[in-house]
Structure 1
Amino acid sequence: MTDLRLEGTIFEHLRKTFSTVADRMGDARRTLRHTDGSVVGASKLVDDLHDFADEWGYGMKQLGKHAKGAVKMIDQIGDSFGELDKELAESMKPKKKGK
């Protein structure tokens, strides 16, 4: 190969991190959804708590969605980098003289 390097572990670490974000956001959304807001007492406060949970639930869903998109991009970058590295290595090989 060539001197063009990017550690594969960087991609592996990023991919693992972003892959787990969607799962963690889903867990948090489910927890918020199943929270009993009535324990806070006053009905206005219960309504506000439910509104908060709904808004945060939507935001967490969006974060999970974007994290999945980031995983796809990380995979594409890794694939493209690998191909470019191979092409660069090929271009640096000595040319064979024709007959």
Structure 2
Amino acid sequence: MDGGVPLTTVMCGYGEDIVSFLRFLEDDVRELARKLESSGEDMRTASRSLADTDAGRIGPPALSGRCDEFADSWDYGFGQLSELARGIGDVANNAADTFNVTDEDLERALREGGGAA
């Protein structure tokens, strides 16, 4: 890299102050991963809060039993969503890593191929 700027940027004629397209995608994908992981943690926190709720205070036993069933189902669903969000976040981070490696490989190929101006 030339002064911290990927050669692919210079080769595209955008100037040295603009980062490459792949670097831009890397940042966006990492931000997406961060948001997914954060939302997964929010779901786990909400689920734990519901687990501490006493449905017996809601009303008749039949209603509290239904509330307990709903809370169990909700907890399971949130757990599944949380795991999916974490998994998608991991995939997004892996994609960002691939963008970075591809950008560096492209820069190296352009340098070795004599494409640098």
TM-score (norm 1): 0.84
How far apart in 2 are the matches of 1:34 and 1:94?
62
- Could you tell me which runs of 5 or more consecutive residues in structure 1 were left unpaired when the two chains were aligned: none
Per-residue deviation at 1:94?
5.4
How far apart in 2 are the matches of 1:94 and 1:60?
51
Per-residue deviation at 1:11?
2.6
Counterpart residue identity of residue 94, structure 2: Q
52-61 or 1-10: which moved more?
1-10
46-55 or 27-36: which moved more?
27-36
Structure 1 residue aligned with 2:108, among 84, 90, 98? 90
How do residues 49-88 of structure 1 correspond to structure 2 at under 5 angstroms? 49-88=67-106
Q: CA RMSD in A?
A: 1.8
Number of residue pairs the alignment of both structures matches: 96
Per-residue deviation at 1:24?
0.9
20-29 or 73-82: which moved more?
20-29
Q: Which residue of 1 aligns with 2:42?
A: 24
**Is residue 2:52 matched to residue 1:34?**
yes
TM-score (norm 2): 0.72
Per-residue deviation at 1:12?
3.4
3-12 or 20-29: which moved more?
3-12
